[in-house]
Structure 1
Amino acid sequence: MNKQSGIPLLDEIPKINPSRKIHYPNDNNNLKLTLYQYQTCPFCCKVRAFLDYHGISYDVIEVDPVLRQSIKWSPYKKVPILVVETPTGQYQPLNDSSMIISALSTFIKDAEKEIVDIVKCYPFIEYVDEGGSRKTDIMNKYFLMLSEKKMVKMNMDELNEERKWRRWVDDVLVHTLSPNVYRTKEEAFQAFNWFSEVGEWEKNFPEWERQLIIYVGAYAMLMIGKRLKKKYNLKDDVRSSLYDECNYWMKSIQKKGGKFMGGDKPNLADLAVFGVLNSIEGCLAFEDLLKNSKIKVWFDQMKIEVNRNKMITDV
């Protein structure tokens, strides 16, 4: 296993007008953030849920999910990519949704740490999996890298449980989504037309490019969804797998006795679950989920918490 440093500070990134700006008047974090994303990517939705809940302002650049021209500058070719503009005028890219959330949580909780130094605590690693394929990952991505003085004040049992559930979101829950959203050709096209609407593709891309994304994307994800169903051993009725996982989550919250996994207020696990489920809101699979599982009350409460202070400025 080889460790590699993350993407280093960059002196320049191509200037692209943001699709929109999310502004919080009470944001005092002094961070200039730009989120490169797909509006309905589960991992991008997870990052936005965190930023919105904590009232952190950011710009959004909507990436074409087929051509991806706006991230050609980045050696990391997946979204989300969150770019922090530093006080020196350089740019620090953060990659992987879980790493982004852990790094920003560390920044919020430990005022003595600078974001550039925090990023160094999450190195990229390369490894070969059991099938012989070369993979990359990010070390410590579920951990808050706080100083000893801060860690003493933290409840370690709660931190460990929070990490467990954040991992479950990435390893289990998110893999039930695509086979459900793209279960049939009709559902795949319904989903991509919905994505076009909420992602404002008519505004952000030429019409030929928007149509390309819809048709190529829908057919590609229809095939990918079927492969993922087999890969992750979902039930023949893939809806049942989605319902089961969401009911498992709700049963675990009920055992704790609070409104959220974090108690009276959401923690990082709540935000992760909400984020990935929010990515399919508007799809037929989500409508069925609300009708056939126990997730609705919790989801509606989370939406209130996350969007409490949200203000969107169109550009």
Structure 2
Amino acid sequence: MVSPERKFFCVTASSLAQEVHAKEPPQSTKFLPKDVVLYQYEACPFCNKVKAFLDYYDIPYKVVEVNPISKKEIKWSDYKKVPILKVDGEQMVDSSDIIDKLFQRIHPENPIPDDDEDKKWRGWVDNHLVHVLSPNIYRTTSEALESFDYITTHGNFSFTERIIAKYAGAAAMYFVSKKLKKRHNITDERAALYEAAETWVDALEGREFLGGGKPALADLAVFGVLRPIRYLRSGRDMVEHTRIGEWYTRTESTVGESSRIKA
């Protein structure tokens, strides 16, 4: 029997038979930044939205992992959230705004897509999909610990902070997730996640991507915010119990390898 993990991470036989999708061409010659730095939390869905865009457009970038306790890495900024993107010294904030600005610079001859469908689904990502994630990844104490094991392993923590954050953070977020569940009128966490996944697949209307033959900004946004749960039980369950797996695998293949510059 094929495990959910294998379904989630490997290209299935059916997807191998499909046409190989290429990334967008290299960024516009009018936009060749020399230094792009992303200040992030590895597990942050909004940071992963920005990374999906940078990866798809093959824009090399460095990553600075922010310590969520001290936030010393962003002391220089008046903005105290992530993501923060510095492009040749210019600060950009808010994931959707960052993507809009980058898109304009990559495509100076075209305005930001004013496609009502793309705009609608980008808004759905920010206003609905992201709110379904926390109640799922912290749904039970074991899932909360699994999530914080990933967060602390990939995050910028000292050894002591890692131990404290894993157990204290998992306990705290388990209870916070219950409040978030109530705030966003979620009665069944997994049902809400599955419904969101199916809603997105329905929006595709049989197309490979919302953008047709290549990802729209909304495709990159959905893929980006789902990417942090790819190693978690919630993500495995989502792929096993909904139709989103084929689209996810196709988008993952199209976005391609990370454009991150290793330190």
Question: Would you call these one fold, judging by a TM-score over 0.5?
Answer: yes
2:199 matches 1:251: no
Alignment of 1:220-259 (within 5 A): 220-235=172-187, 237-254=188-205, 257-259=206-208
2:222 matches 1:294: no
Structure with greater helix percent:
2
Q: In structure 1, what is the equivalent of residue 262 of structure 2?
A: 314
Structure 2 residue runs of 5 or longer lacking an equivalent are 1-25
Rounded Cα–Cα distance in structure 2 between residues aligned with 1:186 and 1:30: 45
Structure 1 residue runs of 5 or longer lacking an equivalent are 1-25, 86-90, 112-149
Q: Verify the 8 A CA contact 2:62 2:262 in the aligned structure 1.
A: no
Q: In structure 1, what is the equivalent of residue 84 of structure 2?
A: 81
Q: Verify the 8 A CA contact 2:61 2:260 in the aligned structure 1.
A: no
Find the partner of 2:58 among 55, 59, 63: 55
Find the partner of 1:189 among 119, 142, 145: 145
Find the partner of 1:70 among 69, 73, 88: 73
Q: Match of 1:102, as an amino acid?
A: D
Q: In structure 2, what is the equivalent of residue 219 of structure 1?
A: 171
Identity score, percent: 43
Q: Verify the 8 A CA contact 1:191 1:283 in the aligned structure 2.
A: yes
Rounded Cα–Cα distance in structure 2 between residues aligned with 1:155 and 1:96: 18
Q: Deviations over 1:146-188 (max 9, x none)?
A: xxxx45xx875xx221111100000011100000000111111
Secondary structure at the residue paired with 1:164? helix
Find the partner of 2:223 among 274, 278, 286: 274
Give how far 1:80 is off.
Answer: 0.4
Q: In structure 2, what is the equivalent of residue 132 of structure 1?
A: none
Rounded Cα–Cα distance in structure 2 between residues aligned with 1:312 and 1:172: 28
Secondary structure at the residue paired with 1:172? helix
More contact order relative to length (CA 8 Å, sep ≥ 6): 2
Q: Match of 2:68, as an amino acid?
A: P
Q: Verify the 8 A CA contact 2:125 2:221 in the aligned structure 1.
A: yes
Rounded Cα–Cα distance in structure 2 between residues aligned with 1:295 and 1:218: 28
Rounded Cα–Cα distance in structure 2 between residues aligned with 1:82 and 1:53: 16
Q: Verify the 8 A CA contact 2:63 2:260 in the aligned structure 1.
A: no
Q: Match of 1:244, as an amino acid?
A: E
Q: Deviations over 1:40-69 (max 9, x none)?
A: 100001000000000001110001122212
Give how far 1:312 is off.
Answer: 5.0
Secondary structure at the residue paired with 2:207? coil
Q: Deviations over 1:184-229 (max 9, x none)?
A: 11111111112233x2x4xx44211222332332222212211110
Cα distance change, pair 262–247 in 1 and its aligned pair in 2 (3 A): same
Q: Match of 1:272, as an amino acid?
A: A
Alignment of 1:1-315 (within 5 A): 29-31=31-33, 32-85=35-88, 91-110=89-108, 150-151=110-111, 156=114, 159-197=115-153, 199=154, 201=155, 204-235=156-187, 237-254=188-205, 257-308=206-257, 310=258, 312-315=260-263
Cα distance change, pair 102–301 in 1 and its aligned pair in 2 (3 A): same
Secondary structure at the residue paired with 2:204? helix
Structure with greater strand percent:
1
Which consecutive segments of 4 or more residues in structure 1 shift more than 6 A?
none
Cα distance change, pair 215–249 in 1 and its aligned pair in 2 (3 A): same
Cα distance change, pair 155–227 in 1 and its aligned pair in 2 (3 A): closer
Higher Cα radius of gyration:
1
Q: Match of 2:32, as an amino acid?
A: N
Rounded Cα–Cα distance in structure 1 between residues aligned with 2:260 and 2:77: 27
Rounded Cα–Cα distance in structure 2 between residues aligned with 1:292 and 1:109: 38
Query: TM-score, structure 2 length as denominator?
Result: 0.84
Q: Verify the 8 A CA contact 2:40 2:65 in the aligned structure 1.
A: yes
Give how far 1:311 is off.
Answer: 5.2
Query: TM-score, structure 1 length as denominator?
Result: 0.71
Q: Verify the 8 A CA contact 1:81 1:96 in the aligned structure 2.
A: yes
